[in-house]
Structure 1
Amino acid sequence: MNKIIFHIDVNNAFLSWSAVYRLKQGEKIDIRTIPSAIGGDEASRRGVILAKSNPAKKFGVVTGESIFSAKKKCPNLKLYPSEFNVYRYYSGEVIKIFKEYTDFIEKYSIDESFLDVTAIAGKNPYELAYEIKERIKKELGFTVNVGISTNKLLAKMASEFEKPDKIHTLYPEEIKKKLWPLPVEELFMVGKKAKSRLNDMYIFTIGDLAGYDVSLLKQKFKSYGEMIWKYANGIGSDDVIYTEEEAKLISSELTLPSDVQSRDEAHKILLEISKKICRRLRDMKRYSSTISVHIKTSDFINYSHQRKLKAATNSTKIVYDIACQLFDNKWQYEPVRLLGISLSGLCEEIIEQTSLFDDIKDNNLKNQKIDSVMDKLQDKYGEDIINRFNSLNK
């Protein structure tokens, strides 16, 4: 018996969640209806775009570009600070609704989840998807897309079809009709660089890729070639990975709309990721003893570098400083398409290896106090009320 898997993705999550929250606080304008974006500092035009409204998208504003660039495209763009406490809250509220239907939930990211609904979907999974989608819209005030299939890959591809507020199926028997005619760059894990190389091989559609000689793809792209060939043929896992155990690792990453080719730009991205992931760690009341930086190049080559700490930390400054060092040590000056940070070795208190590192512990505690004050101020007045990293904004 085939499984029934849902992939549920919040439409334009950060901006939608900020919009809903602000409307509940009495704001008159729904920021989803005007040219608006989340992220950065409007006064200095520093930072990057984390999310943008559909009206802003029409001006060419894209996620990951600089505030300066976005403002040149759309001078009337309204900028709003990121509010990760709000995002965490609404992400949790979505999961609460999911748990009323199934325990088989894999949280793929803060705004995406896979659900194994095989046991409850009945003969018409579409009806169940519609019920969940409408409940989220009615009870929480924002929309989602739902993709339905027999494995996670096809469910995710289905959810990427027409947006927003839609339900799509992509069963194995529908691949030829729905998936294969699409441009090859719309396949999961195929970016601009890979698209160009595939087009040079006269592979223009996902169907072209699916029918190509996999051995030739492996010669050209190595393991990546076999992977995308499998994806083009709808081959993927149907295992929804769920656990009730406490998290042993947390991570955050950002896929960039255009290649990052300078150290300064990469450091700016790492700062945004560090702020996000360390705040999440502090909310969990946990510390990390190992920091890893993940890099994906424009050629889809992945590599990472990690460091074991002398004393566990949840300090944004310490994580950011080490992440930059790890990046600088590993980066080979290739164009970068994705950057990520993961924190592992999670524990409930700062544990130093020996008394020789009292200075490390003292520095940790000092940064912890600063972070605590900043968290409280940002929760009350917004993310941009205080910024300890002004020295970076030269």
Structure 2
Amino acid sequence: MDKIILHVDMDAFFAAVEQRDNPKLRGEPVIVGGISERGVVSTCSYEARKYGIHSAMPIFIAQKLCPNGIYVLTRYSRYKEISLKIFEILREVTPLVEPLSIDEAYLDLSQSNFKDGMEAALFIKKRVYRELGLTISVGISYNKFLAKLGSDWNKPNGIMVINEDMIPDILLPLSISKIYGLGAKSVKKLNNMGIFYIRDLYELPKNFYFEYLGKWGMEIYDRIRGIDKREVIIEKDRKSYGKERTLKVDTEDKEELLICLKDFCIQISNDLIMRSLEGRTITVKYKSSVFESHTRSKTLNYYTNKVEEFYKVCEEIIEGEDFTTGIRLIGLTISSFKENTIEQLTLF
């Protein structure tokens, strides 16, 4: 392979961290997420997946499928703490790391001391397990699409190499839902036409892709032929980082709102630290029980990624508001970034 791309994906990350921190949970069906009626599943252990539970499923449905499951509240700050350590290991392998989420990334080995994908993958898996007690699955190929496909091939704790000489045969038997860029609506549309597998799609002429799949059709045409020209991007030019939450019960209690905002401050601070970014515009958003949206912003005269600095502004904003109705949604966004670089200071 001319280019070597790795896709790394932690196995049931949130649930795995809970099982790591509490050995009593190991081997048990662990479901992580909100435990209220409005809650949804963030992640579940592989033991829970046997019951048909999956991410984004409403908690009340998960409880019906697995009443004996162990339901755990999300501890995002803990997961981010572990994630930062994982990304430190990844950046020891190559500076070309593109984070996709807290537990998933692409790596390009073109600037790495590792010139063999398998050697790099085994190094990552060994370090993550030895230092953090967690397993990670790795896909190795010459482009992003195939690397991501490889990491999901034999989870958990899997590893898969997809070479050019395996294309297209290895792809043909797969469901079209495995094609990156093909959304649920497009999959359903194609299924209704009798197209269920990549083999069915592969045999169709080029003009079909454009007519039925729109502007992304030609990318789909290329991907199922092993072509994906996307580069690994170290950091996308993201304008803001934000979090928001719909509350279980509408409230006018400022302390309750500040508890949510404190959690957001921690999550966003960790995101920025991981990406060596600092921001200076803090925006609090809230939506009333009558669905009126409001935003309040403050721009500091300095850049920061510190939790306490963000939270101080949140306190000022919330304390200055006069809520006449209950609040059903609260959110926080940080923007106006600069890269956090260390300056060389003179002696004087």
Considering the TM-score relative to the shorter chain, is it more than 0.5?
yes
State the partner residue of 1:11.
11
The answer to whether the aligner puts 1:39 opposite 2:38 as a matched pair is: no
Where does the alignment leave 5 or more consecutive residues of structure 2 unmatched?
251-256, 304-311, 330-348
Higher strand residue share: 2
State the partner residue of 2:196.
204
State the partner residue of 2:44.
52
* Contact 1:71-1:77 at 8 Å conserved across structures: yes
| Cα separation, 2, equivalents of 1:101 and 1:167 | 17
The alignment's C-alpha RMSD in Å is 3.9
TM-score calculated relative to the size of structure 1: 0.64
* Contact 1:106-1:113 at 8 Å conserved across structures: yes
1:189: how far off? 3.2
1:49–1:223: structure 2 CA closer, same or farther, 3 Å change rule?
same
User: 1:1-394 alignment to 2 at 5 Å?
Assistant: 2-20=2-20, 22-23=21-22, 28-29=23-24, 31-41=25-35, 44-118=36-110, 119-122=112-115, 124-243=116-235, 248-250=239-241, 279-283=266-270, 284=272, 312-313=282-283, 315=284, 318=285, 365-367=316-318
1:188: how far off? 2.0
TM-score calculated relative to the size of structure 2: 0.72
Identity, % of aligned pairs?
30
Instruction: Judge which range, 180-189 or 146-155, deviates more.
Output: 180-189
SS of the equivalent of 1:68 reads helix
1:320–1:9: structure 2 CA closer, same or farther, 3 Å change rule?
farther
Higher helix residue share: 1
**Regions of 4+ moved over 6 Å:** 273-276, 361-364
1:369: how far off? 11
| Cα separation, 2, equivalents of 1:193 and 1:201 | 13
SS of the equivalent of 2:209 reads helix
Amino acid at match of 2:75: E
Amino acid at match of 1:39: G
1:45–1:173: structure 2 CA closer, same or farther, 3 Å change rule?
same
| Cα separation, 1, equivalents of 2:80 and 2:44 | 19
* Contact 1:3-1:238 at 8 Å conserved across structures: no
SS of the equivalent of 1:222 reads helix
Q: Deviations over 1:200-249 (max 9, x none)?
A: 33322213323322212211221133332222222213522115x99743
* Contact 1:19-1:32 at 8 Å conserved across structures: yes
